[in-house]
Amino acid sequence: MIFQNELLKSFTANGDRIAVESARGSVTYTELQHRANAITNFLIAQNVLKGSNIGVHTHRPEEIIVCMIGIMNAGCVFVPINPDLPVRRKEEVLNEVSPAYIFGGKSTDTGINTIDIDLILNQKSADQSTPIYPEFDQDDSIYIYFTSGSTGKPKGIIGRNKSLLQYLQWQINEFSIDQNCRVSQLISPYFDAFLRDVFVPLLTGGTICLPPEEEDLFTPLKMVSWLNEAGVTIVHCVPSVFQIINEGAPSATLFPSLSYIFMSGEKINPLQLAKWYATFNDRISLVNLYGATETTMVRCFYRIQPEDSSKSKISIGNPIADTQLFILDENGIPCSKYIVGDLYIASTFISKGYLNNEALNKEKFITLFKGTAKEVPAFKTGDKARFTGSGKVELLGRDDRQVKIRGIRVDLEEIEYILLRSGFLKNALVFLGNPELQDESAGQSADPEILTAFVIRNDAEADDEHWAEKLKNKLKEHLPEDLIPAKIIVVDSYPLLPNGKINYPELSALSLQKEIIAPKDEIEQRLLAIWVEILGQKEVSTIEKFHEAGGNSLSIMRLIAKIYKEFNVRVVLKDLFNNLTIQKQAVLIRSALKDESLHIATVGKRDFYPASIAQERIYYLYLSDKSGITFNLPMAWELSEEVDTERLKSAIRSLVIRHESLRTYFNMDRHRINQLIEDGSNFEITEVPVAADFSLSDFIKPFDLDNGPLFRCFLIYPENGKTILFTDAHHIICDGMSQVNLFADLLQFYNGKDLDLLPIQYKDYSVWEQQFRTSPEYLNCRKFWVDSYKGELPSLKWPVRDQPQDSSYGSNLLFYVPSSDLLPLLDQWKQEGVSVFSGLLSAYFLFLSQLYGQEDLIIGINSSGRMQSELENVVGMFAKTLPVRYEIDLDDTYLQFVGKIQAHLRELLNYQQYDYSDILSDINRDHDFQIGQLFDTMLVFQNFEHSEAADERHLFTPHVFESGAAKYPMSLFVYQNGDGFQFRMEYLTSYFTEEDILMLSEQFIQLLKLLVANSETPLKSSLNADQVDPFSKEDLDFRF
């Protein structure tokens, strides 16, 4: 089974027949052989060793065919080199193959032995006699074709002599191809499918039909005209080229000679076949070919039927002769029918593998069922597939065509199918993100948040300015909102590569040309100003979605507040997620009734003001333990030598005057808690010299809420050390965002800047809240919380032998995780459309589930509580504590679980204004026993955005210290910065030792890494994976 022997037999048998036909004339088999002999004799005369790589560097197909045959007949390896390759890529190819010679034109300059083809073929002295051929072997290398590598470096694939012949003979026999065949040569010579165009006719005595060298050949009119006039009987092409033929073929009288169109290289869109079969019925056979260069062109085929045009996918059918298809799971076990797995092509006729890439050969070219009677060489295609009930293979695309959007698995080809079914389009391509990084079959890219569709409209829609709106309405009948492409880009045609496949980089350039749609009225203009204020100075289109423009979970809450301030319209989170563009938000605002319920009015001077509900809750807790320091919020900074302490003290006094909360204290009168405000003129800054071994925890003392002050400030002068600014505030007057505001204002005052007066103070908020808690909007939240906590509540039992005595003494463990260590997990969250906070919360749920040994859990979280834009810069206790209850379904995969957590959080945040005190009161009314606390642990995520909080001169360096207090047995605080995540595990020492917490922190980090490796595995399996050690009482002290 030697390829050259069979080719030479055909030359002898068909000497006078036409081998090649083109606009330049015809070449007989005898003439073609003589020309090829000149190449063969030249190489033999130069003593070129058998198996040497010989390059061909020319555009003209006639010359390539002659050189290819001559090279192969010399026992050498044919290497086509595209002259249009970029210089650097061409250098990479040449370095890989190290050709002994290169056949090219007069101007070819590759720096390697380059032979002018014309001189060899046209000189009178050219030796066209029959050569003394070397001894050929069926395992000889016969060609090298290069394909694009995932790293950008081209991969050379080595063709095997017997494999090439085996495939060609199979196609000839299977489709009864004979010497009457006239085969179009439409495939680029620099792709292996070119071998089909050339050698199928040459092995049968048929004719290679070269198309005219015209730039507009690949247009419907020119293509159809040439195929018809040339009397072509067989076409090999990619589906993109078939679509060109299909568009230009209006009449059934066309192509009287055409018998077969073989398609490969891209998926076939079934809906595009309907027009073809309506015109030609089944007179011209369409065949789907499937394979890879690595497996010697094609290893599977399917004869398409007219009824297939109504299906969603075209089958790849059955394997060709001497080929087996295996669909295996991740453990290498064959999959049952309908079960999706990895597709392997097994045959003794696959290629010889990759050139100079042993590592990739070991990965992709494997032996299946090694050591058994079924042992067979195979290639791992990278495609997902399954066997249908009839035993045919259904190709489901590559892994990267199966994508996830907000936890939902989506096949992009199905969205394309629905787009085409709309009736508005000729063709559609859908990508998750930008297609810039796509290969021929990829569907996912670096920006996984956006579905983009590139569409070619039907001619009838060209003049309809409302077609896009009609299309989207049609899509809504079949797809949820998240699966409707956010960007629909109209193109006249898809840019093609020389091999006829889609040119994704060029297509990408179209998507990067961002269309800026300007506001069309005053409302959209005001909305745009809000977006720019939140997102920074950037070009924003009114059809762009908020998260596409750079928004996140924190900034979307700011957007809600600013919309209310600007338009007096209350927008709930759920409605905003369904209306993420300026245009849609404008519609929402126009249709909304004016809402005064969130308007905060300034309150005149009084002797006292009502405490907020959060302050009341903290005050009652204070009464139960007046000596506790659980609610202290201390902060400390080391001061650089540049800091002027007198200037700093002046800035601190300005801070106290600016924020009334820092001058507030409380009293109880007739069971009503009031807040009272001093003028702040007597605020003292205590300056203390201390020994070198002092402890900041000595400065953390209980507060007297009834007399104040509730904000303290110290300048501490350690012996032989840097000066420390230490502040402490009671939680009743301050929260986490307030701490950020205080530091930002302190920097401003210290740098000599005047700040505008705050339009409202915390007392104004408290008076407003008192009224708001009687409003229908507030009371309507009650049902959500009561329903969430119906029935038996989960018992939060820490894994300790005896309940520890009540003690608030606590400690902290700090650990830092660089973003690079969590990059796979962060990318996964981004791909799922999951916020970082939702992702961290999902991980903490699973972590506690292991620790508790239960699935139904409640975790406390914080929200900013600042529903109005005016509150952004105010200091006070606004933070809302929200109990998040969730029952983990261990049959879910992690990706399903984290998607559900995200959805649950979105719904919960719509009711965040309902205070935790009221939640507890309402739940206690429905239970026979009183519940003091719904949770014993919190997750606090702090990624506050504050542009003015940057200390560019590094005058103030945060000083880390132990506060000596904790509210709960264990809580996790997370601070995100640009480089990574700072975790702080706060714990009660009556529950845990330092060694316990150290081990638990290591377990938490391991869990984060485990979730990436097992994201598609049910939780009941992945949480028992070997990567994470199970918790055990033998490992942990837990204060037994």
pLDDT (tens digit per residue) in 945-962: 444 446 677 889 888 777
pLDDT reading at 401 higher than 70: no
The backbone torsions φ and ψ at residue 900, rounded to the nearest 5 degrees and listed phi first, read -70, -35
Residue showing tokens 């083809």:
117
What pLDDT digit, counting tens, does each position of 799-847 carry? 654 555 556 688 888 888 887 777 778 877 877 778 889 999 999 999 9
What pLDDT digit, counting tens, does each position of 910-921 carry? 888 888 888 888
Confidence of residue 498 (pLDDT cuts 50, 70, 90): low
Give residue 90's pLDDT. Answer: 84
What beta strand segments (E) does 127-284 contain? 141-147, 155-160, 182-184, 207-209, 234-237, 260-263
Contact 828, 1012 (CB under 8 A): yes
CATH of 522-591, one of 1.10.1200.10, 3.90.226.10, 1.10.10.10, 3.30.450.40: 1.10.1200.10
Helix%, strand%, coil% for the chain, nearest 5: 35, 20, 40
Q: Where exactly does CATH 1.10.1200.10 map onto the chain?
A: 522-591
Sign of CA dihedral 1019, 1020, 1021, 1025: positive
Residues paired with residue 182 on neighbouring β-strands, in sequence order: 207
Residue showing tokens 């972590």:
847
- CA–CA gap between residue 894 and residue 1018 (Å, rounded): 7
Identity at 853, one-letter amino acid code: G
Give residue 84's pLDDT. Answer: 81
pLDDT reading at 480 higher than 70: no
- CA–CA gap between residue 922 and residue 782 (Å, rounded): 8
509 versus 6: the higher-pLDDT residue is 6
Give residue 1014's pLDDT. Answer: 78
Of 38, 37, 50, 49, the C-alpha closest to 11 is 37
1033-1038: Cβ within 8 A, 24+ apart: 1033/799, 1035/999, 1036/799, 1036/996, 1036/999, 1036/1000, 1037/992, 1037/993, 1037/995, 1037/996, 1038/798, 1038/799, 1038/800, 1038/801, 1038/991, 1038/992, 1038/996
Give residue 513's pLDDT. Answer: 59
Percent of the chain with pLDDT over 70: 87
Max intra-chain CA distance, the chain: 121
List CB contacts of 1016: < 8 A, sequence separation 6 or more.
893, 894, 895
Q: Where exactly does CATH 3.30.559.30 map onto the chain?
A: 784-943+959-1022
List CB contacts of 52: < 8 A, sequence separation 6 or more.
76, 77, 99, 100
Average pLDDT of the segment spanning 773-798: 81
Give the three-class secondary structure for 440. Answer: coil
Q: Which helix (H) or strand (E) holds 181?
A: none
Identity at 774, one-letter amino acid code: T
463-470: Cβ within 8 A, 24+ apart: 467/424, 470/424
Residue showing tokens 């929402």:
588
- CA–CA gap between residue 811 and residue 495 (Å, rounded): 63
Residues paired with residue 379 on neighbouring β-strands, in sequence order: 345, 365
Mean pLDDT of the chain: 84
The backbone torsions φ and ψ at residue 706, rounded to the nearest 5 degrees and listed phi first, read -80, -15
The angle, 0 to 180 degrees and rounded to 10, between the axes of the packed helices 194-204 and 161-174 is: 70
List CB contacts of 292: < 8 A, sequence separation 6 or more.
299, 345, 379, 381
Q: Which of 736-745, 778-787, 1011-1020 has the highest mean pLDDT?
A: 736-745
pLDDT reading at 1015 higher than 70: yes
CATH superfamily, region 632-767: Chloramphenicol acetyltransferase-like domain (3.30.559.10)
Q: What b/e string do you get for 238-257 counting C-beta neighbours within 10 Å, with b at 16 or more?
A: bbbbbbbbbbbbeeeebbee
Comparing 41-45, 105-109, 456-460, 700-704, the range with the smallest average pLDDT is: 105-109
pLDDT reading at 40 higher than 80: yes
Confidence of residue 388 (pLDDT cuts 50, 70, 90): confident
Confidence of residue 667 (pLDDT cuts 50, 70, 90): very high
Q: Where exactly does CATH 3.30.559.10 map onto the chain?
A: 632-767
> What is the C-alpha radius of gyration for the chain, rounded to an integer number of angstroms?
37
Of 342, 386, 525, 504, the C-alpha closest to 437 is 504
144 versus 967: the higher-pLDDT residue is 144
What beta strand segments (E) does 600-723 contain? 609-610, 632-639, 664-669, 672-677, 686-690, 711-718
- Counting DSSP H helices and E strands in the chain, the numbers are 30, 40
The secondary structure of 854-893 as a DSSP string is -SEEEEEEEE----SGGGTT--S--PEEEEEEEE--TTSB
Q: Are strands 18-22 and 207-209 parallel, antiparallel or unpaired?
A: parallel
Give residue 403's pLDDT. Answer: 57
Give the three-class secondary structure for 593. Answer: coil
Average pLDDT of the segment spanning 626-639: 91
pLDDT reading at 402 higher than 60: no
Give residue 409's pLDDT. Answer: 46
Sign of CA dihedral 960, 962, 963, 965: positive
pLDDT reading at 922 higher than 60: yes
CATH superfamily, region 324-504: ANL, C-terminal domain (3.30.300.30)
- The encoded tokens of residue 363 equal 């990965």
Contact 290, 300 (CB under 8 A): yes
CATH code of 784-943+959-1022, in short, is 3.30.559.30
pLDDT reading at 797 higher than 80: no
- CA–CA gap between residue 569 and residue 961 (Å, rounded): 44
Q: Where exactly does CATH 3.30.300.30 map onto the chain?
A: 324-504
Contact 257, 270 (CB under 8 A): no
- pTM of the prediction? 0.49
Note if the bond before 709 is cis, omega within 30 degrees. Answer: yes
Give residue 1035's pLDDT. Answer: 41
- CA–CA gap between residue 647 and residue 655 (Å, rounded): 12
Give residue 554's pLDDT. Answer: 62
- Report CA-CA distances (Å) from 636 to 214, 697, 973: 76, 11, 18
CA neighbours within 13 Å on the CB side: how many for 33?
22
pLDDT reading at 80 higher than 90: yes
What pLDDT digit, counting tens, does each position of 857-908 carry? 999 998 888 888 788 899 999 998 999 999 999 889 898 999 899 889 888 8
Average pLDDT of the segment spanning 667-690: 91
CA neighbours within 13 Å on the CB side: how many for 434?
14
- Report CA-CA distances (Å) from 337 to 314, 329, 343, 344, 584: 17, 12, 13, 15, 46
791 versus 717: the higher-pLDDT residue is 717
